């Protein structure tokens, strides 16, 4: 009777295995010793015959009986050596094959592994060497699944063949597959909590197929990278930071214009260009694998997988290494705020809302129709925070720009009343998201203290760049979206109307030191019908170019680090087109106004980098002083920037299309003032109305100063001056407060 019951129980398990519904295959398949008897059980659909061979001698030990014609084999033998190891010889009918049995290997994942390591060091697909056996260890978190199998070409994408071992204490499924090497394609076949079958990409895949394919690819975990002192210094608040923001797929294309440049091709084209233009940092739009080109990477499907559009993960590492060799720091646009609901991705991963908030009032973005991560979940928090570490530590990125922070930290972001859920205190702040950002910034700065973390945060949330110990979010910099909107609004006005909105250009100074700011003219300002930066400027074409140059001059002198999206440096007429490339033909004529703007941006960058007054005291109010702040009628602004050692640069911006002669401005020190930069110079496309290279002060009081200079202000222009030589025996006026 007992034998009959055992046989009946075994048949039930066999049926469950063939149905793909058996949760604990390692307890049944493989080799199991009971007393002096050793049992072998093998599930190999479509196999004709299976023989157990001694692994070291290849000697046949036992031919297994075919218990089920669908491909289940079993057999037992007495008095087998306790150290016996085996391989399987399989007869498929027309061919024979000898393989390792995945079910003879014990668990490779300990409790400590899941707690003490970064999650990406264990989860996903990891190439492993067990004694003399090479293979891949697969791990995936799916605690509510009924069964998870690894599938690929190696098992005909048949989820019955390699069901994984379940670890109930962690919710992780694992299996070691011998002979699976780098480049192998795979997915997880999941029998989910609802009994539905799903095919999922690996959340921790280090490489993926090119869209529309969503298959994961076994790829080695990159080695750790360490920044040099030069890279670390370039990120500091007292360093010049001029960022060139780039979408890799549309900066430039191949000769026929239809294909992206590879990381290798970009290393020989984009990087020399960034260096020649004088930018200190390159920021690239998100490159985590994403299914839709039109999302520009902001709807990532595999956040551990560099998109295959431009090459391999190693190609990306080589690209970043080359940037560092050329003295360029590289920043990555990072998206922890949402993810698309594609069936192959994280959505409803094991039949439950595993990665996302379950309630749509918390878990769905109305603006983008995407899902929001469950920031309460410890596993999801590790998934995200460790991903930030992954990009910095394993690829060598010098920092991250965190996308859409406001959408993360406000529960009512873009939601009407009744469509959002308050926090535990009744407020609208997402406390879990705030905690995650604080933890991520602290974690990164513990590992690499000089990592540059920048927040795209569009509200007045307090303390974005304060350390978490003081209640802040822990970022190094915050994008100054208010400054950007105000100044662009001002410059779109007819010059006659600008005098009524003078404060739009001055208001930014009122809060310039409330955070550590980056002044961004980003991709968001040149898409979706907003027009290019050049088109935003008012007036005739000539006036548009002049206004844009004057604006750039004002921006580079204003407190805050700088960011410009590609195409802005050549004053494109067209909006950015992610399916094309920049309008490089605009630069074919060296005397074109487009080439003039490009030369001006280049000279701005090098002037900025070589003038400490513009950057080394940037984060202190003492670095800035208004001289003329209230000349509404003439739309003139004049201010001084001070270096930490007191060296000064004098800036005048004028935003009307008329020449203003005999314009007098007070100066702190009597002497000869040399023009450092003139946005209206002929070389930049202007008419060079300011025809003198220097001007000497006179003992005429104005603007609270004992001395002043008289200028001819060109229309729509910005001028930089520095004191060339002070006059002797003059009394320096006290600094205006």
Tell me the pLDDT tens digit for each residue of 318-358.
999 999 999 999 999 999 999 999 999 999 999 999 999 99
Distances (CA, A) of 544 to 410, 522, 535, 539: 38, 19, 7, 6
What beta strand segments (E) does 442-565 contain? 452-455, 477-479, 517-521, 561-565
Contact status, residue 616 vs residue 643, Cβ threshold 8 Å: yes
What is the predicted pLDDT for the residue at 732? 35
Angle formed at CA 522 by CA 516 and CA 528, multiple of 5 degrees: 140
Q: Chain centroid to CA 398: how far? A: 11
Distances (CA, A) of 90 to 60, 99, 131: 12, 8, 23
b/e 124-135 (16+ beta carbons within 10 angstroms → b) = bbbbbeeeeeeb
- State the Rg of the chain over Cα: 32
Annotated catalytic residue within 192, 403, 457, 603: 403
What is the predicted pLDDT for the residue at 257? 72
What is the predicted pLDDT for the residue at 149? 96
Phi, psi (deg, nearest 5) at residue 729: 60, 35
What is the distance between the alpha carbons of residues 685 and 680, in angstroms, rounded to a whole number? 7
What is the predicted pLDDT for the residue at 736? 38
Beta bridge partner(s), residue 127: 136
DSSP characters over 95-128: -EEEE--GGGS-----HHHHHHS-GGGTSEEEEE
> Which residue ranges of the chain lie beneath pLDDT 50?
1-5, 729-737
The residue count for the chain: 737
Closest CA to 50 of 78, 29, 79, 25: 29
Q: Is 706 labeled as catalytic in the residue annotation? A: no
Q: Is 456 labeled as catalytic in the residue annotation? A: yes
Q: What is the DSSP letter of 356?
A: B
State the number of CA atoms in the 13 A half-sphere of 187 facing the CB: 21
**Could you check whether the bond before residue 212 is cis, i.e. omega within 30 degrees of 0?**
yes
Annotated catalytic residue within 100, 379, 456, 569: 456
Contact status, residue 250 vs residue 572, Cβ threshold 8 Å: no
What is the predicted pLDDT for the residue at 323? 98
pLDDT tens profile 199-238: 999 999 999 999 999 999 999 999 999 999 999 999 999 9
What is the predicted pLDDT for the residue at 7? 66
What is the predicted pLDDT for the residue at 466? 97
């Amino acid at each position: 009777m007992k034998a009959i019951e055992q046989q009946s129980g075994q048949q039930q398990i066999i049926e469950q295995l063939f149905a793909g519904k058996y949760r604990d295959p390692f307890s049944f398949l493989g080799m199991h010793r009971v007393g002096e008897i050793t049992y072998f059980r093998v599930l190999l659909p479509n196999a004709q015959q299976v023989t157990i061979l001694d692994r070291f001698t290849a000697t046949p030990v036992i031919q297994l009986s075919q218990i089920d014609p669908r491909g289940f084999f079993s057999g037992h033998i007495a008095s087998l050596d306790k150290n016996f190891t085996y391989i399987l010889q399989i007869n498929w009918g027309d061919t024979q094959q000898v393989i390792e049995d995945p079910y003879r290997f014990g668990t490779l994942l300990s409790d400590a592994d899941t707690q003490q390591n970064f999650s990406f060091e264990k989860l996903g697909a990891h190439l492993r060497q067990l004694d003399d056996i090479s293979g891949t260890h697969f791990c995936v978190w799916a605690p509510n699944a009924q069964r998870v199998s690894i599938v690929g070409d190696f098992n005909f994408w048949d989820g019955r063949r390699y069901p994984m071992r379940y670890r109930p204490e962690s919710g992780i499924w694992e299996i070691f597959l011998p002979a699976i090497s780098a480049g192998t394609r795979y997915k997880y076949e999941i029998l989910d909590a609802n009994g539905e079958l799903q095919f999922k990409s690996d959340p921790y895949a280090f490489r993926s197929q090119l869209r529309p394919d969503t298959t994961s690819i076994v790829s080695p975990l990159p080695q750790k990278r360490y920044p040099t002192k030069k890279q670390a210094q370039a990120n500091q608040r007292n360093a010049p930071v001029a960022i060139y923001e780039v979408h890799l797929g549309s900066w430039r294309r191949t000769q026929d214009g239809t294909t992206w440049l590879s990381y290798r091709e970009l290393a020989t084209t984009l990087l020399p260009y960034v260096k020649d233009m004088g930018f200190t940092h390159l920021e690239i739009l998100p490159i985590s694998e994403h299914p839709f080109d039109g999302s520009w990477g902001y709807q990532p499907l595999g956040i551990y997988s560099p998109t295959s559009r431009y090459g391999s993960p190693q190609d990306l590492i080589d690209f970043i290494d080359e940037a560092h060799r050329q003295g360029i720091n590289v920043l990555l646009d990072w998206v922890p705020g949402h993810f698309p609901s594609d069936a192959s991705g994280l959505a409803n991963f094991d039949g439950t809302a595993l990665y996302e908030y379950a309630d749509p009032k918390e878990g769905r973005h109305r603006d983008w129709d995407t899902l929001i991560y469950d920031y309460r979940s410890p596993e999801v928090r590790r998934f995200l925070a460790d991903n930030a570490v992954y990009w910095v530590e394993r690829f060598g990125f010098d920092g991250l720009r965190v996308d859409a922070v406001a959408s993360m930290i406000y529960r009512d972001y873009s939601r009407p009343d009744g469509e959002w859920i308050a926090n535990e205190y009744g407020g609208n702040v997402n406390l879990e998201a705030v905690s995650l950002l604080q933890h991520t910034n602290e974690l990164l700065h513990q590992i690499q203290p000089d990592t540059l973390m920048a927040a795209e945060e569009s509200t007045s949330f307090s303390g974005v760049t304060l350390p978490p110990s003081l209640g802040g979010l822990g970022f190094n910099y915050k994008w100054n979206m208010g400054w950007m909107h105000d100044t662009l609004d001002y410059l779109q006005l007819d010059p006659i109307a600008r005098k009524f909105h003078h404060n739009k250009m001055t208001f930014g100074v009122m809060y310039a030191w409330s955070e550590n700011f980056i002044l961004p003219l980003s991709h968001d300002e040149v898409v979706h019908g907003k027009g290019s930066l050049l088109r935003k400027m008012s007036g005739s074409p000539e006036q548009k170019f002049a206004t844009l140059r004057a604006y750039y001059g004002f921006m580079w002198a204003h407190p805050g680090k700088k960011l410009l999206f590609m195409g802005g440096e050549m004053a494109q007429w067209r909006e950015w087109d992610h399916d094309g490339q920049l309008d490089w033909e605009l630069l074919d004529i060296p005397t074109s106004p487009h080439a003039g703007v490009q030369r001006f941006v280049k000279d701005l960058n090098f002037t900025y980098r070589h003038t400490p007054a513009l950057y080394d005291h940037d984060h202190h109010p003492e670095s800035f002083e208004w001289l003329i702040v209230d000349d509404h009628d003439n739309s003139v602004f004049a201010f001084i920037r001070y270096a930490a050692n007191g060296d000064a640069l004098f800036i005048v911006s004028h935003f009307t299309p008329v020449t203003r002669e005999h314009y007098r401005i007070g100066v702190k020190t009597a002497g000869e003032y040399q023009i450092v930069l003139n946005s209206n110079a002929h070389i930049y496309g202007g008419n060079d109305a300011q025809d003198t290279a220097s001007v000497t002060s006179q003992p005429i009081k104005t603007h609270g100063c004992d001395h002043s200079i008289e200028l001819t202000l060109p229309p729509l222009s910005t001028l930089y001056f520095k004191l060339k030589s002070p006059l002797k025996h003059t009394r320096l006026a006290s600094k205006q407060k």
